[in-house]
A and B are shown apart, each in its own frame.
Chain A
Amino acid sequence: MSDYTRDEMMTVAAARLLADGQVCFVGIGLPSAACNLARLTHAPKLVLIYESGTIGTRPTVLPLSIGDGELAETAVCVVPLPEIFSDYLQAGRVDVGFLGAAQIDRFGNLNSTVIGSYEKPRTRLPGAGGATEIAAHARQVFIVMKATPRSFVPKIDFQTSGGHFSGRAASGARGGGPAVIVTDLGILKPLVGSKEFALSVLYPGIPVEEARAAVGWPLAVAPEIETIAAPTASELVVLRALEARTEAAHRKPVRLPI
């Protein structure tokens, strides 16, 4: 099947990285789509944790917010938020944490706080939320971001969450840091030694030059670039049905509690 969008390829590529049985700390948007696609295809025993406190949730539609009722209704259990961060994430019980941001550098450090200076920002962004501690403590971090020179920058304006920053090993961070950056063109992985992210996987039909042009620093290229398969028919059917159910659910008018 060749008729798919780059967003779909990106979601499928992220989903395929998840192994059955892993415990995933999920964010809203594309990570949520990727995790649920994996759960509905090759990884039925994937355990999804949303920071609102829902553990083992199996939503039939994707949530708009991190705390939609759907997540609680389909969860194995719902725990207080402080417990999620201290007793699950900090305690080392999360295999994979998903993160995105407004800016990223070549070591996978992320900015979701401000553009400009912290004291007088040009653009005030939402801030850290759960990201800083996910970046520190999830066994692996999967970063999911569309590649543009505006977001893949030589120097981020503010470091909200640490990637492979210098001193990470002695910092108290228990997790391994970012393992992949999944973009809409391909996947970057850290080089052995320097930990700088290099182009390692390309999606079908994407030339290396397009990927390099989408990144605001001279993008390193791995010794061997892998090409992964296009989304399969069954992956697309499941993903599109999930998105159609989600759209219909979000469009459904809510009766005012009056």
Chain B
Amino acid sequence: MTQFLPLRDALAEHVPDGACIALEGFTHLIPFAAGHELIRQGRRGLHLVRMTPDLIYDQLIGAGAARKLTFSWGGNPGVGSLHRLRDAVEQGWPGPLELNEQTHAGMAAAYRAGAARLPFGMLRGYIGTDLSSHNPRIRKVACPYTGEELATVPAINPDVTILHAQRADRAGNVAIDGIVGSAREAALAATKLLVTVEEIVEAMPPAMNNVLLPHFTVTAVSHCPGGAWPSYAQGYYSRDNDFYLRWDSIARDRAAFTAWIDRHVRGTADHRDFLASIQRSAA
């Protein structure tokens, strides 16, 4: 049975310190509200998994919540560096960060394998790159039929995957429109799936081909309007490109970053309060 819980309770119940968690959503539907709530609750020692760490993991890393990062592209899209990620890797601040670095194709294969409960993902990939000599998890297998050597990556099976979606119905079915990235694969690869949604509706129209996670795959749903800001929710609000540009100067400096987190995340009660705090500071 899918639980319907306030976000605070869902994370308190299902995400312990040290958990391996994937907050997915490729540029679109990034579960920022959930990431912020993990910072508020002072979670520590997390293994963070995401193809593109984006601002959400920059914030979790800078706030000291992470011990390890599995990722495939760690920049601020169209802007430049993720300064908190860089500071952790280059200077070990606020603590050391172990990296499990992949390519997009490799990580996508690892999620697909995880969703299918296979031990590894396989691809014709990691060709002509030094990455495989620095990441011992990237290995090779010979095709039993042709002998061709193919790359393998161990399946990714997060303890908890967290998504943001447009809608859930009262049964706990979850629908996503627009860019889906690896959301579906990451969701089905996890032991538990938590979803924050813009809206809870009585019932959804038949899904046809849009991405739907059936209720028996969904551990808990939390109603959280605006939960993807500053990323976006197709049909609800646009990506706040201006905030992504401004993040560069906030995150560049340790003190400025910590002041921002203290004021807007640690200093607010929940996501509604967070958005109000952002609005006040912009006024």
| A interface residues with partner B (beta carbon < 8 Å) | 28-29, 51-54, 63-69, 71-73, 78, 80-82, 85-86, 89-90, 109, 113, 118-119, 121-133, 135-137, 158-163, 165, 168, 171-174, 250-251, 253-258
Contacts and interface: CB of A to CB of B under 8 A. Distances in A.
A128 B73 contact: yes
Given A72-B234, A126-B75, A53 B26 contact: yes
Contact of B78 (A28, A118, A127, A254): A28
B127 A136 contact: yes
Interface residues of B, number: 72
Interface in B99-115: 101-105, 108-109, 111-112
B148 A172 contact: yes
6 contacts: A64-B79, A85-B104, A135-B128, A136-B128, A137-B124, A172-B148
B105 A53 contact: no
B105 A172 contact: no
Interface in B64-103: 71-75, 77-79, 81-82, 85-86, 89-90, 101-103
A109 to B, nearest CB: 7
Interface stretch (B10-18, B179-187, B248-256, B261-269): B179-187
Most chain B beta carbons < 10 A, residue from A85, A135, A173: A85
A137 B129 CA distance: 13
Given A82-B109, A132-B131, A171-B127, A124 B86 contact: yes
A159 B101 CA distance: 14
B193 interface: no
Q: Which 4 A-B residue pairs are closest in the complex by CB-CB distance?
A: A162-B128, A67-B27, A126-B75, A257-B226
A70 B85 CA distance: 28
Q: Which of B81, B126, B128 has most A Cβ within 10 Å?
A: B128
Interface stretch (B41-49, B214-222, B271-279): B271-279
Nearest to B127: A136
A253 B282 CA distance: 11
A257 B236 contact: yes
B181 A52 contact: yes
Contacts of A172: 124, 127, 148-150
Contacts of B6: none
A118 B239 contact: no
Nearest to B235: A69
Contacts of B28: 52, 67, 69, 72
B233 interface: yes
A132 B134 contact: no
Nearest to B112: A82
A53 B177 CA distance: 12
Given A64-B244, A124-B86, A132 B77 contact: no
- Most B C-beta atoms less than 10 A away, residue of A66, A171, A253: A66
Contact of B182 (A68, A81, A257): A81
Q: Which of A71, A128, A159, A174 has the most CB of B within 10 A?
A: A128
Contact of A65 (B104, B233, B237, B244): B244
A235 B259 CA distance: 47
Contacts of B242: 250-251, 253-254
